[in-house]
């Protein structure tokens, strides 16, 4: 089976846990809000008869695209579709963590069941967006 989701939200890198003055660790509010927004958008898009992908089911990610809106200073001549984004956040680590963690418990039971990511990209586009296609 396959599942394709699209999120109209700016991709956000996961930040490390912060330490408060009293020595208690906490997750920054910006990350909590981002994860909550991804969860809400995912629930709205899931088919009515969808059941969470159970633990132990291998999941292949056909593509995972992080699309960032062009900077206002980018000339319109350079605004070609899929202009690669070579600046922060890094693709392999921080940007995936927050997004995949937000989908865990809604789309799939455990993110450890993702066995392969065929296409993973970050690039500029007309608006902020995240697109993912899962095969299971």
Confidence band, pLDDT 50/70/90 cuts, at residue 81 = low
State pLDDT tens for residues 35-72.
Answer: 999 999 999 999 999 999 999 999 999 999 999 999 88
Domain boundaries, the chain: 2-135
* Percentage with pLDDT > 90 across the chain: 66
Residues 69-98 have a mean pLDDT of 82
Residues 91-114 have a mean pLDDT of 91
Please name the helix (run of DSSP H) or strand (run of DSSP E) that holds residue 44, with its range, or none: helix 29-45
CATH assignment of 2-135?
3.30.1330.70
Record the tokens describing residue 31, joined without a space. 């990350």
Distance, in Å, from the CA atom of 116 to the CA atom of 58, rounded to the nearest integer, reads 9
Cα 41 to the center of its chain, rounded Å: 11
Please name the helix (run of DSSP H) or strand (run of DSSP E) that holds residue 119, with its range, or none: strand 114-125
């Amino acid at each position: 089976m396959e599942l394709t989701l699209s999120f109209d939200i700016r991709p956000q890198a996961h930040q490390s846990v912060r330490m408060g003055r009293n020595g208690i660790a906490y997750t920054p509010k910006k990350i909590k809000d981002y994860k909550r927004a991804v969860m809400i958008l995912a629930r709205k898009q899931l088919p009515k008869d969808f059941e969470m992908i159970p633990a132990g089911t291998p999941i292949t990610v056909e593509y995972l695209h992080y699309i960032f809106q062009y900077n206002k200073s980018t000339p319109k001549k350079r605004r070609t579709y899929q202009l690669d984004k070579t600046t922060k956040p890094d693709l392999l680590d921080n940007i995936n963590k927050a997004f995949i963690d937000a989908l865990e418990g809604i789309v799939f039971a455990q993110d450890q069941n993702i066995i392969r990511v065929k296409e993973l990209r970050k690039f500029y586009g007309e608006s902020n967006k995240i697109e993912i296609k899962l095969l299971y």
